[in-house]
């Protein structure tokens, strides 16, 4: 009887094991899908919550190779101030601090990007992340202003930047130019995926500091 019992029970145990294996794979497939879904939802909600102000300038980060190209081309001294207009996850400020020991201020409205930037820069006292609109920012102390924004935002920024920065300041714009302002230099990083131009502007030596001609070519 015992034997018969085990003969009868064998297939059902195998069935249970098979069932367990199926649910194991199902969980393995579903967990990443669920994580991806929640992450996309959080991204969408955080983007939608500030879209009225940020418009096309969504939370997208600048690749390391591009940040390095900017840092190579614009050497800074320890203690100088770098401002990132729409600092995303704070990478530009953090990497600039690591390379040159500069102070940093990042403006960021998107709550997800703001939290990522706070987290990334949490151990660096020299970097401050502000959850504020950069159009209201005081740029008069900035030695270098960096931005990676989109054309609709650049159109608004161009009215403000030339009168807001101090004489001699450097303004760097990734991907999109400041409309109507002649750049002192245009970088084209050697990268198949990340080779879009980076525009460098130098403010004139007198206030207000218009970007007339390449006053101080870098
Ligand atoms: C393309 S991302 C660039 C992020 C970062 N600078 C980088 O290069 O990795 C532009 C960021 O600007 C932020 N932004 C757009 N308009 C803004 C505004 N008026 N005030 C503050 N942040 C803004 C967006 O939320 C977005 O995270």
The helix (run of H) or strand (run of E) holding residue 10 is helix 2-54
Instruction: Please determine, for residue 125, whether its predicted confidence score (pLDDT) is greater than 70.
Output: yes
- pLDDT of 97: 98
Probe residue for ligand 1, chosen from 64, 104, 109 as the CB with the greatest number of ligand atoms within 8 Å: 109
Q: pLDDT value at position 216?
A: 39
What average pLDDT does range 172-187 have in this prediction? Answer: 93
Each residue's pLDDT tens digit, 145-171:
999 999 988 888 888 887 889 999 999
Q: What is the mean pLDDT of residues 176-195?
A: 92
Q: Domain residues of the chain, as ranges?
A: 1-54, 64-202
> What pTM was estimated for this model as a whole?
0.83
pLDDT band at 9 (very low <50, low <70, confident <90, very high): low
Nearest CA among 167, 139, 148 for reference residue 89: 148
Take atom 26 of ligand 1 and give the residue whose Cα is closest: 59
Q: Which of ligand 1's atoms lies nearest the C-alpha of 147?
A: 6
Q: How far is the CA of 106 from the centre of ligand 1 (A)?
A: 9
Closest atom of ligand 1 to 61 CA is: 9
Encode 33-70: b = buried (16+ Cβ within 10 Å), e = exposed. Answer: eeeeeeeeeeeeebbeebeeebeebbbeebeeebbebb
Expressed in angstroms and rounded, the spacing between residue 59 Cα and the centre of ligand 1 is 6
CB 154 within 8 A of CB 173: yes
Question: Looking at the chain, how many residues does it have?
Answer: 218
> What's 64-202's CATH class?
alpha beta
| CB of residue 156 inside a 6 A radius of ligand 1 | no
Instruction: Return the pLDDT at 141.
Output: 96
pLDDT value of position 99: 98
Task: Tell whether ligand 1 has an atom less than 6 A from the beta carbon of residue 84.
Answer: yes
Q: What is the C-alpha to C-alpha distance for residues 101 and 65, in angstroms, rounded to an integer?
A: 19
Distance CA 170, CA 8 (A): 81
User: What are the pLDDT digits (tens) for 90-109?
Assistant: 999 999 999 999 999 999 99
């Amino acid at each position: 009887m015992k034997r018969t019992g085990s003969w009868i029970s064998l297939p059902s145990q195998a069935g249970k094991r098979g069932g367990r294996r199926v649910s194991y794979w199902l969980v393995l497939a579903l967990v990443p899908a669920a994580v991806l879904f929640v992450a996309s939802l959080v991204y969408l909600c955080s983007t939608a919550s500030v879209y009225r102000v940020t418009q096309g300038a969504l939370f997208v980060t600048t690749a390391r190779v591009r940040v390095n190209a900017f840092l190579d081309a614009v050497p800074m001294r320890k203690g100088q101030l770098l401002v990132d207009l729409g600092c995303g996850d704070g990478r530009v400020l953090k990497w600039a601090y690591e390379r040159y020991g500069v102070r940093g201020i990042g403006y960021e409205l998107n709550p997800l990007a703001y939290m990522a930037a706070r987290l990334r820069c949490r151990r660096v006292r020299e970097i401050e992340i502000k959850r504020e609109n950069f159009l209201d920012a005081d740029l008069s102390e900035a030695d270098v202003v960096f931005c990676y924004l989109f054309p609709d935002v650049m159109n608004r920024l161009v009215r403000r930047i030339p009168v807001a920065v101090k004489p001699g300041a450097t303004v760097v714009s990734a991907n999109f130019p400041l409309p109507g302002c002649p750049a002192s230099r245009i970088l084209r990083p050697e990268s198949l995926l990340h080779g879009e131009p980076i525009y460098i502007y130098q403010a004139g030596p007198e206030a207000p500091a218009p970007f007339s001609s390449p006053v101080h070519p870098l």
